[in-house]
Amino acid sequence: MGFNKKTIKDISLTGKRVLLRADYNVPDIAGKITDDFRIKQSIPTLEYILKQKPNGLIIMSHMGRPKGFDKTLSLQPVARHLSQLLGRKVFFVPDCVGEEVKSIASRLKPTDILLLENLRFYPGEEENETQLAKNLVDSTSAEIFVQDGFGVVHRAHASTVAITKLLPSVAGLLLEKEVETITKVMKSPNHPLVAIIGGAKIKDKIEVLHCLIDLADCVAIGGAMANNFLKIEGYETGSSLYDKEDLRLTKDILAKVKNKACRQPFSFLLPVDAIVSKNINGRAPIRIVDLSSRSLAEIEAYPKIPKRDTYTVGKAEAIFDIGPVSSGLIAGAVELAKTVIWNGTMGVTETKGINGAQAPFSNGTRTIAEAIIGPSNKHLSKAFSLVGGGDTVGYIEAEGLTEDFSHVSTGGGASLELMAGKELPGIEALPNK
C-alpha cells in the first residue's frame, strides 16, 4: 500500500537546479505570518534537498485568490518567516517569471534558497497553462521538479500538472507522508473507527461523508452542517446557518445511515443540545438549549412545567456550537475508538471570549480535542488520529496541540478528495516508481 510515485529519495539531486512546489498559502496579517504550520511541515523536504548539495533550490507557491498583482498577498513575509525557521537566508524575488527572476536565479550559489512571488498573480497558473510552466522553467533554469504542496495537488494547475511535462518530476517527503497516511487510514483502519465531521456545507464533504458512513463504526456531525440534519429531523434552528439546497443531500445521507444501522451496529451522532446566542461576536449572552430530552429545561423549571422557549432555539437565536451533552457523547465514542478521523470544528472557534473568558463557542471542539489526545500518562492507549480541514488545524495549531495528534494534514480539499478515493491530478502527473 506504499506510495507508488518516484520521490526525491529515488533520484540524485547533487549539482541539479531544483524547482519545488510548496503550499505556503498561510494566514498573513499586515505582513506577519499568524499560522506557520504548513511552512514548518515543508522543512524536512527542504533540508533533505539541501543535504544533497543541489545547484540552488527555488521554491514556488501561491497565497489567497488574487485578481492580478496584489501586494497584500505577496509571499515576501513567507520568505522572511522561512529564513527564521531555517536559520539561513531565503532570497525573495517579486515575480515568478521574467528577466528579474532569471537574473537572481543565475547568481544563486549551490545551496542557496530562492522563493518566487505568488504564482496566482498570473491567470495561467489556475488555467494549467503550458506557456507559464515553460516560463517558470526558463526563468529559473530548473532541471528537476519536486511536488511537495499536498494542499494543491487536487488542482490541475500550471505548477502541479503542466510543469511535470517539462521536467523530470518527483514527490517531496511531505507529499509522500500525507498520501501514505491518509490512504492507509481509509483502506485498512483499526476498528472501532470514529469519524467526526464539522464545517459549514454538506456538499463540500458529501463524497467523503458517504465513504465514512460505509467505513466507520460511528459518525458524529457538528458545526453548521449539523443544522441541515436538525432541520430534516424537525427541530427549530432559529436563524442558524443552513443550506436549503443541501436538504436533499441531507435526506439521502440519513436514508443511508438508517439502512446501515438496520444491517449492523452503527452510530450516527447528531447534536442533542446546542449553544445558542443572538450574536456571533460573543458579546451577547449564550445559553444551552436541550434539543431532544428537555431534561435541562425541566430541572431548571422544577416544580413548574418548562416554557417552550427554554428548550427551543428562538427565532432571533442561532446555534454556534454543540452542547456539553453532545460533546460528551462524541468524547465517549472517541475513548472506545482505535482510529479517529476528524475534519471540521464543532462550533465558531474564531470567536474570542471577552474579559478573559474562554472562547464561548469552542467548548465542543475543545472537549473532542481533549478526548482524542487522552491523558498524558496514557499515550500508548490513544487512538490513531487523523486531523484535517483548515478550521480544525487552525484551532489545534493555535492551542499548541499539533504534536499530540498522530497526523495533522496540511491539505483541506486535497485530504477530503483523497479520503473519498479520488485521483488527484498533481499526484497522477508524477511518474511511478
**pLDDT for the residue 379:** 46
Instruction: Catalytic residue, from 5, 17, 21, 38: name it.
Output: 38
DSSP three-state, residue 280: coil
* C-alpha cell belonging to residue 105: 536565479
Mean pLDDT along residues 138-165:
97
Choice among 84-88, 316-320, 390-394, 401-405 with the minimum mean pLDDT: 390-394
**pLDDT for the residue 376:** 54
Within a 10 A sphere around the Cβ of 338, how many other Cβ atoms? 15
| Percent with pLDDT over 70 in the chain | 98
* DSSP type of residue 291: -
The answer to whether the beta carbons of residues 139 and 163 sit under 8 Å apart is no
User: pLDDT-based confidence at 178, cuts 50/70/90?
Assistant: very high
Give me Rg for the CA atoms of the chain. Answer: 24
- The rounded distance, in Å, linking the Cα atoms of 76 and 91 is 9
**Half-sphere CA count of 310, side-chain side, radius 13 A:** 14
The answer to whether the beta carbons of residues 76 and 66 sit under 8 Å apart is no
Torsional class of 193: left (φ above 0), alpha (ψ -120 to 50), beta (otherwise): beta
Query: Who has greater pLDDT, 102 or 35?
Result: 102
User: Is the pLDDT score of 181 beyond 60?
Assistant: yes
**pLDDT for the residue 375:** 65
Which amino acid type is present at position 31? G
- Whether 238 sits among the annotated catalytic residues: the reply is no
- Whether 38 sits among the annotated catalytic residues: the reply is yes
- Whether 263 sits among the annotated catalytic residues: the reply is no
**pLDDT for the residue 304:** 87
- Whether 282 sits among the annotated catalytic residues: the reply is no
Do you find a cis peptide bond into 192, omega within 30 degrees of 0?
yes
* C-alpha cell belonging to residue 7: 520521490
Residue at grid coordinates 506504499: 2
- The rounded distance, in Å, linking the Cα atoms of 211 and 416 is 10
Name all domains of the chain by residue range, CATH numbers in brackets: 8-176 (3.40.50.1260), 189-419 (3.40.50.1260)
**pLDDT for the residue 288:** 93
**Half-sphere CA count of 25, side-chain side, radius 13 A:** 17
- List C-alpha distances in Å: 428 to 6, 216, 414, 419: 11, 27, 13, 16
The answer to whether the beta carbons of residues 364 and 321 sit under 8 Å apart is yes
Residues β-bridged to residue 363: none
**pLDDT for the residue 77:** 96
Euclidean distance between the first and final Cα of the chain, in Å? 13
The answer to whether the beta carbons of residues 275 and 291 sit under 8 Å apart is no
DSSP three-state, residue 158: coil
**pLDDT for the residue 381:** 52
Instruction: Catalytic residue, from 151, 344, 364, 390: name it.
Output: 390
**Half-sphere CA count of 335, side-chain side, radius 13 A:** 12
- The rounded distance, in Å, linking the Cα atoms of 34 and 360 is 22
Q: Give 282-289's long-range contacts (Cβ < 8 A, gap of 24+).
A: 282/351, 282/352, 282/353, 282/354, 282/359, 282/360, 282/361, 283/354, 286/320, 286/360, 286/361, 288/323, 288/324, 289/313, 289/317, 289/319, 289/323
* Mean pLDDT across the chain: 92
- 284: CB partners within 8 A, 6+ apart: 277, 278
Mean pLDDT along residues 152-180:
98
The answer to whether the beta carbons of residues 64 and 57 sit under 8 Å apart is no
**pLDDT for the residue 1:** 54
User: Is the pLDDT score of 163 beyond 50?
Assistant: yes
Mean pLDDT along residues 132-161:
97
Instruction: Catalytic residue, from 201, 203, 256, 294: name it.
Output: 201
**pLDDT for the residue 377:** 45
- The rounded distance, in Å, linking the Cα atoms of 338 and 275 is 29
- 139: CB partners within 8 A, 6+ apart: 96, 97, 98, 101, 102, 105
pTM for the model: 0.91
Each residue's pLDDT tens digit, 373-421: 986 545 445 789 999 887 899 899 888 899 999 999 999 889 999 999 9
- 111: CB partners within 8 A, 6+ apart: 50, 53, 54, 56, 57
Instruction: Catalytic residue, from 314, 332, 374, 413: name it.
Output: 413
The answer to whether the beta carbons of residues 32 and 77 sit under 8 Å apart is yes
User: Is the pLDDT score of 57 beyond 50?
Assistant: yes
User: pLDDT-based confidence at 242, cuts 50/70/90?
Assistant: confident
Within a 10 A sphere around the Cβ of 192, how many other Cβ atoms? 18
- The rounded distance, in Å, linking the Cα atoms of 137 and 165 is 11
User: pLDDT-based confidence at 214, cuts 50/70/90?
Assistant: very high
- The rounded distance, in Å, linking the Cα atoms of 39 and 19 is 16
